[in-house]
Structure 1
Amino acid sequence: MVKAAVLGASGGIGQPLSLLLAISPYVDELRLYDIVNTPGVGADLSHINSKAKVTAYLPEGQGLEKALTGADIVVIPAGIPRKPGMTRDDLFKINAGIVSDLVTGVAKFSPKAVILIISNPVNSTVPIAAEVLRKHEVFDATKLFGITSLDVARAATFVADVVGGSPTHYKVPVVGGHSGETIVPLLSQITPKTEIPSDKLDALVKRIQFGGDEVVKAKEGLGSATLSMAYSGYKFAESLLRAVNGEMGVVEPAYVHLEDIPGGKDVKDDVGGLDFFAVPVELGPNGAVWVNNPLPRANDYEKALLEEAKKKLAENIVKGIEFVTPTSKL
C-alpha cells in the first residue's frame, strides 16, 4: 500500500500533479493538503475510476497531521508562483517559510517518508528542508530530493528543436541547480551522440537555463510553469515508485545532499565541497542508492559553466541553511 501526500494540492502545480498521482497504478491512497480549496479538488479527483482513494484536508482539525500520518511519499509544490520580472530568488522569503512549516509537519508525522521538493527556489528550499529535518533528528539524505526533472525535459525538447527529431529520442544530463546559471546542461554527453552546431550552442544553453521565463512571459503575468512542472514532478515520483516496486537501474536527476549518498563524495570533491548539487541519481526501494558523476567528462565549455554555477549555488545553499540556523556556515 503506497500512501502519497501532496502539500499544496490546490495550486497551479498541485492540481495537475494530484491528477497524475491519482491515476498512477502505483498509488493506493492519495492525501491532499492545502490552506484553501482542498475539499473541492479532492471531490473532483475522487470521481475518477482509479484505484487510489483520495482524501482532502485543510489546516483546521489537524489537517496537516491527518494528511501526513503514515505517508510513504510526500510531494511539496506549495508556494507562490513566479511573476514577470521575478527570479526564483525573489520567491525566497515567502516560500522558505512555507517549506519550513510543511517539512516540520513531515518530521513530526511521517519522518520516514521520501520527500520531493518542488517549491522554488529549490537551490535553497532543499537545504532548508534538510536543516529542519536535522533539528528533529530525522534527516536522511537518501529520502530528500529537489525535483530538477523539468530541466532535463526542457533540454531534450530544445535539443530536438535545434537538431530535429523527437524530444523522446534524446537524453541530456543536466547538473548543478534549478535556476538560471546554476542549470548546466552537459550537451557533450547527449545520447545518442549528437553534435550541437557551434553557432547554436550559446543560445541553446541559455534557453535551457531560462526556459521558465518563456512560460512566464507567454502567460502574461498570470502564471509560471505549472503543467510542465507537474509532469516533471510526477515523472520523478513515478520513477521512485517503480524502484520501490523492485525495478532496478531507475535513474532520475535530482538536487540532493551529496556526501550522505553513495557516490556523492566524488561529486562533492569535484564541485569544490558544495553540500547540495543536482546529478543523475539511481533510485531504490528506500530512496537514493547511488549518485552518478558525469562531471569528469565535461568539456572546457561546460567546465566554465560549472564554475559560474558553483558560485551562485554556494550562495543559495548558505541562504537556505541560515534561514533555519542563522549562525550556520558551509
Structure 2
Amino acid sequence: MPGLKVAVLGAAGGIGQPLSLLVKMNPAVTDLALFDVVPVVRGVAADCSHVDSPATTAGYTKDDEGLKQALTGADLVIIPAGVPRKPGMTRDDLFNINAGIVRDLAQGIADFCPKAFVLIISNPVNSTVPIAAEVLKAAGVFDPKRLFGVTTLDVVRSSTMSAQAIGKPNSAPEYTIPVVGGHSGVTILPLLSQAKPALPESLFSDTEKLKALIHRIQFGGDEVVEAKAGAGSATLSMAYAGYKFAEQLIGAAFQGKKGVVAPSYVYVAEAKDIQQEIGQDLAFFSVPVELGPNGVEKLHPLGQLSSYEKELLQACLGELPGSITKGVNFIQQPKL
C-alpha cells in the first residue's frame, strides 16, 4: 500500500498525546502530523519520533501555516482537540468552546485535505459532527461516507462493564456489543440484548441490575471525572477507543480488510430504512457501520430491540435531535 499520512489535531492534550503514540505504533502509518495551538506539541512530536515504527513525525502550531502543513496530503484526520470536562460539567457545558474549535479545524480540512477521512472525538460529539458537516457542506466538499463521530468508548465500556456485571471481569474482550444513538448520557443506547456471545439471562431478569449497568455505560465518563477529582476526564480510555476505531478504518479503507463493522455516529439522513427503524427523520445517528475503501460502505440496521431498549430509544430521541440542531445552528446562524 502507498504511504499513509495521519494528522492528529489537538495532539498535545490529555487524549491527543496517548492517541498520537498509538497512531505512531501502527506500521501502516508513514507520516504522522501532530497539530495543536500550544508549542509543547513540537515536544510531543519529538518524543513520538523516537518510537521505532515507520512513521516520520512532525509537530505544528498555528505559526507558519502549521495547520496547512499538518493537513496537506492527509489521508486520515483525527480530532481530539478541545477542553476537557471538569467536575459538575455536562458535555453541553463545553459546547461554545469546542464548537468554535471544531468549526475552525473543519475549515482547515475543507481547504487542505477535503478527501480525508475525518474522525471527530471532540465533545459534545452529538453536536460537533453536525458542525463539521455544515462547514464541509458550505465549502462544497461534504462526503457523508468520510465523516465519523467516534463512539467507540461507549462500545469499549459496554464490553468491560458488562463483563464486570456478570462476574467475569477478565472476559471483556470476548464480548461484542453494538451501541447506537448518540454519544452523551441517555442518547447512548447499548444493545445488550444483541451481545455476542449472548449475556446470561440472569442479567436481563434482574431489572435493577440491568438498569444500573446501562446507567453506568451511559454515564461512565462521570465515573472518571469524579475519580480524577478535578484533574481531568477520560483521556486514556478515550485515546484507546479513538485509536481502536482509527485502526479498524485503516484496515478496511487502506489494507483491504473485509467485514469490518463498528458503531459510529454518522450521517443517516438518506438512509430511509434507518429512519424508519428510529421512527424519526434524523441527520445523524450512531449505527453499526461497515467500513471499506470509501469509508461508510453500508449502514447496518438497529435490529430487534428488547422492550426496555425501545424505552431507552425514546429517551435518546428526546434529546438527540436538539443536540444536532444546536450544532447546525451554530454554523448557520447569522453572524452578529
Give the TM-score range, shorter chain. Answer: over 0.9
Structure 2: how far apart are the matches of 1:146 and 1:26? 22
- Give, in angstroms, the shift of residue 128 of structure 1: 0.2
Residue of structure 2 in register with 1:104 after alignment:
107
8 Å Cα contact 2:249/2:291 also seen in 1? yes
Match of 1:319 in 2: 326
2:273 is matched with: 266
CA positional deviation for 1:252:
1.1
**Does 1:252 find its partner at 2:262?**
yes
* Runs of 4+ that moved beyond 3 A: none
**8 Å CA contact retained: 1:26, 1:238:** no
In the alignment, structure 1 residue 177 sits paired with structure 2 residue 177: no
1:54 matched residue in structure 2: 57
Unaligned runs of 5+ in 1: none
Residue 41 of structure 1 pairs with residue 41 of structure 2: no
Identity %: 58
Q: Secondary structure at the match of 1:233?
A: helix
Displacement of 1:265: 2.5
**Match for residue 232 of structure 1 among 235, 238, 241:** 241
Q: Which of 311, 317, 326 matches 1:304?
A: 311
2:124 maps to what in 1?
121
Q: Is 1:287 equivalent to 2:289 in the alignment?
A: no
Cα distance, 1:210 vs structure 2:
0.2
Corresponding residue SS for 2:64: coil
* Structure 2: distance between partners of 1:311 and 1:268: 15
For 2:172, the equivalent position in structure 1 comes to 167
Deviation at 1:270, TM superposition (A): 2.1
How far apart, CA to CA, are the structure 2 residues paired with 1:259 and 1:49? 43
Q: Secondary structure at the match of 1:30?
A: strand
The letter of the residue matching 2:198 is K
Q: Deviations over 1:37-85 (max 9, x none)?
A: 1111011111111111101101000000000001000000000000000
> Which stretch shows the higher mean deviation, 189-198 or 127-136?
189-198
In structure 2, distance between residues paired with 1:124 and 1:247: 31
Residues 292-330 of structure 1 deviation map (CA, whole Å, 9 limit, x = unaligned): 112x40011101110110120000000000000027xxx
Structure 2 residue runs without a partner (length 5+): none
Q: Superposed, which structure 2 residues align to 1:59-208 within 5 Å? A: 59-165=62-168, 166-194=171-199, 195=201, 196=203, 197-208=206-217
Structure 2 CA distance for aligned equivalents of residues 203 and 138 of structure 1: 43
- Please say if residues 269 and 281 of structure 2, whose CA atoms lie closer than 8 Å, have aligned partners that are also in contact: no
Match status 1:13 vs 2:23 = no
Q: For residues 89 and 229 of structure 1, what CA distance do their matches in structure 2 show?
A: 18
RMSD: 0.9
Deviation string, structure 1 residues 249-274 (Cα, Å, up to 9, x no partner): 011110000135xxx32112222111
Aligned residues: 323
Q: Which amino acid aligns with 1:210?
A: F
Contact 1:29 1:52 in 2 (8 A): yes
Determine which of 197, 218, 221 is the counterpart of 2:230.
221
Separation of aligned partners in 2, 1:106 and 1:311: 32
Q: For the residues of structure 2 that align with 1:168 and 1:144, how far apart are their CA atoms?
A: 27
